[in-house]
Structure 1
Amino acid sequence: MRMIITAGGTGGHIMPAVAIAEAIRELSPGTRILFVGTDRGMEERIAGLYGLDFTAIRALGIKGKSPVQVGRAAVTNTAAFFKALKIVRAYRPDWVVGTGGYITGMVVLAGYLQGAACAIQEQNSIPGLTNQILSRFANRIFLAFPDTRKVFPQRKSVVSGNPVRAGIIQGKKAERGQSLLILGGSLGAGSINEAAVEALRILKQEGLVPDVVHQCGPRDYDRVVSAYRDMGLTAEVHAFIDDMAPVYNRASMAICRCGGLTLAELSAMGIPAIMVPYPHAADDHQTANARYVESHGGGWIIPDRELSPQRLAGEIKARFFERDTLEKAASCIAGLGLGQGSQFIAQEILRCSGA
């Protein structure tokens, strides 16, 4: 079998594509896989790390752009579509699988026109524009969250959870960690970093000192390190963490943004979270993601506009230091199965292919 996996733009789109490719190769080692992404560099670098063949296409987004930018994008994306057609014709895939980003639109549509079976995977509660359009052409639509808004055709849709890399799931240990994990995403989150440091200062004054692992992004790294040093609190601070599995194994609770992939990894590892949705996410999808987790007992929301050191210190005190509460929430977020998509999606594609 031949397969094209396509994604672009952010790690939240790219890493699910990699996870699906890993699962396909595990279940069907003879399957040939080509990763098609943008020419911005991230996709090619990650594909190389995981041993995937890669081809780049230049594409531009249109949502929220000015009329002039939309016009330029139309020209660029027309050329991108024809390049996608050329790639698909040459590769002759049985399946084209897209996990989000504008590049996915051109490649999946090209696959559809060339007779390949097509699938899309949506990581968030509120689907992106590209996936909404592609749902008309897809044979299978794999969802991380229930489609409560009925955006997608029900006959083609299945709630699979998000694909999570094998290295994270296989690295999970039975014994739970005891650390507080602070995550701001790969580029950090200034409001979380600032509030978390000051919240821990408040807790330290009350004699409550958790073991802390803090990923703060490169921009805030020096400031965060200095703040912990000045208050005399020992914390493990990283600008970025490449291998999350050991860090997840040390954590009993997280403070984080609410992208679909982040919540999927926390669900796979059974780590409840104080969730601070990114207020400028497209269609406010992070708030919708967080509400789903909170409504099922897997975490607690603090809106970004309400985030303060005092509020966060109170939440940490009420959650992290109350072990019964924490254990119940851990069970709830694990039970959601938000990170179980890799094997499910791979098995469904192979089943439909008769492989």
Structure 2
Amino acid sequence: MKAIISGGGTGGHIFPAIAIANALRAKYPDAQVLFVGAKGKMEMQKVPQAGYQIIGLPISGFQRKKLWKNIALPFKVLYSTLKAKKIVKSFSPDVVVGVGGYASGPTLAAAVSKHVPTIIQEQNSFPGATNKILAEHVDLICVAYDNMDRWFDYKKIVFTGNPIRQSISSLGENIEQIKLKALSTFSLDKTKRTVLVVGGSLGALTINESIYNSLDYFEKNDIQLIWQTGKWFFEKAKEKVESLKSNHIKVYEFVYDMDLAYSVADVIISRAGAIAISELCIVGKPSILVPSPNVAEDHQTKNASALVSKNAALMVKDADARETLISELDRVLNDEVLRQNMSFNMSQMGIRDADKRIVEEIDKLVKKKESK
């Protein structure tokens, strides 16, 4: 089995891509997997760390706020597509999987032009423009939300869920042992309540500022905080926390042991990226979602709404977060029935084996192609 997996830009695209690659290797130990990403983006670092080869395309996204930066975009797309065609021809894959992100479009387009079996792994409840266009030409679309036939040909849709990191999909096994390790790792007191704040791999300014301006809330109420700030806010947050000399507040640029952080949290505050939500559903913890306003088609609000409609999470609009996020957090922390209901409803939506489901679809698609 030879597969190209393309996409990236954020952890929300990279982690599922690696999960699919790992599941492929588990089923086919001799599988050759090549990643295609965007130069200068996170995948160029994270994928090699996971043990896979990656080639970068000189592609970037459409700049909605600074339109003048899009002058070179058509040339980047053209050059990236030509380079992707060379990669596909040289590697000669049995299948190409696009997981979203800048590089996914040119790579899938190149594969379609070479008549290579193609799959889109659509993570969101509302697809982006690129996937809507490509969906007409690919062979299969793996989705994680119901009613996706509003956007895609129902005959191409397979419900698989979103693949997530193995360390998180296996949570629930030996959970008490994992909690003990988490308490030690983060230097937490098991008798106190703990809140986890995570704004995605790149951070979330509004969430960070809301927490930054309310650190006294955690101190006064004897609440422990695990706070992932992302790169850009870390130094400012670290300086403030150090000045408080607090034992309650643990601030990190990036939390690498997210399974430990999830296991010990009583309430989680998070953005509403597709993979973040998929992980939260596995964890089954009460969550407050603050959708990012800086994403295509406002898809994070649509992702969050899918959970809110099932009473599985609360949502605070980004524009309201500075004023209402902490009051909502306080409400959740002090309402045990609400927390129990949210946790139960969230858990009902979790899919632990999405990576294996996708590999099964890859297997069927490749065998179908070979039989022709």
Q: TM-score, normalised by structure 1?
A: 0.90
Change (3 A) 1:82 1:149: same
Counterpart of 2:169? 169
Does 1:275 find its partner at 2:289? yes
Q: How far is the alpha carbon of 1:168 from its aligned partner?
A: 2.3
Counterpart of 2:364? 351
Which residue of 355, 360, 369 maps to 1:342? Answer: 355
Which residue of 260, 273, 278 maps to 1:264? Answer: 278
Q: How far is the alpha carbon of 1:274 from its aligned partner?
A: 0.7
Q: How far is the alpha carbon of 1:151 from its aligned partner?
A: 0.8
Does 1:183 find its partner at 2:203? no
Identity %: 31
Partner of 1:116: helix, strand, or coil?
A: coil
Number of aligned residue pairs? 352
Q: How far is the alpha carbon of 1:341 from its aligned partner?
A: 2.3
Q: Deviations over 1:2-37 (max 9, x none)?
A: 111111322222222111111111122122111111
- In angstroms, what is the RMSD of aligned CA positions? 2.4
Counterpart of 1:73? 73
Q: Deviations over 1:115-167 (max 9, x none)?
A: 21100011212111211111011111011222457111111012221110213
Change (3 A) 1:63 1:314: closer
CA contact (8 A) 1:145 1:338 kept: no
Counterpart of 1:2 in structure 2: which amino acid? K
Counterpart of 1:90? 90
Which residue of 277, 301, 326 maps to 1:287? Answer: 301
Partner of 1:240: helix, strand, or coil?
A: coil
Counterpart of 2:226 in structure 1: which amino acid? V
Q: Which runs of 5+ in 2 are unaligned?
A: 180-192
Counterpart of 1:155? 155
Counterpart of 1:36? 36
CA contact (8 A) 2:12 2:273 kept: yes
* Distance in 2 (alpha carbons) for counterparts of 1:219 and 1:57: 25
Counterpart of 1:56? 56
Q: How far is the alpha carbon of 1:349 from its aligned partner?
A: 1.3
* Distance in 1 (alpha carbons) for counterparts of 2:11 and 2:338: 32
CA contact (8 A) 2:273 2:303 kept: yes
* Distance in 2 (alpha carbons) for counterparts of 1:321 and 1:200: 18
Q: How far is the alpha carbon of 1:259 from its aligned partner?
A: 0.9
Q: How far is the alpha carbon of 1:296 from its aligned partner?
A: 1.3
* Distance in 2 (alpha carbons) for counterparts of 1:258 and 1:216: 16
CA contact (8 A) 1:264 1:339 kept: no
Does 1:305 find its partner at 2:316? no
Partner of 1:307: helix, strand, or coil?
A: helix
CA contact (8 A) 2:11 2:200 kept: no
CA contact (8 A) 2:122 2:142 kept: yes
Counterpart of 2:74 in structure 1: which amino acid? A
Counterpart of 2:345 in structure 1: which amino acid? C
Which residue of 191, 197, 216 maps to 2:229? Answer: 216
Q: TM-score, normalised by structure 2?
A: 0.86
CA contact (8 A) 1:299 1:333 kept: yes
When structure 1 is superposed on structure 2, of 313-322 and 90-99 the one drifting more is 313-322
Partner of 2:105: helix, strand, or coil?
A: helix
CA contact (8 A) 1:257 1:275 kept: yes
Counterpart of 2:268 in structure 1: which amino acid? A
CA contact (8 A) 2:169 2:353 kept: no
Counterpart of 1:103? 103
CA contact (8 A) 2:10 2:201 kept: no
Q: How far is the alpha carbon of 1:69 from its aligned partner?
A: 4.7
Q: How far is the alpha carbon of 1:92 from its aligned partner?
A: 1.2
Which residue of 316, 327, 331 maps to 2:340? Answer: 327
Q: How far is the alpha carbon of 1:171 from its aligned partner?
A: 4.9
* Distance in 2 (alpha carbons) for counterparts of 1:73 and 1:143: 29
Counterpart of 2:330? 317
CA contact (8 A) 1:297 1:332 kept: yes
Partner of 1:102: helix, strand, or coil?
A: coil
Counterpart of 1:114? 114
* Distance in 2 (alpha carbons) for counterparts of 1:306 and 1:65: 21
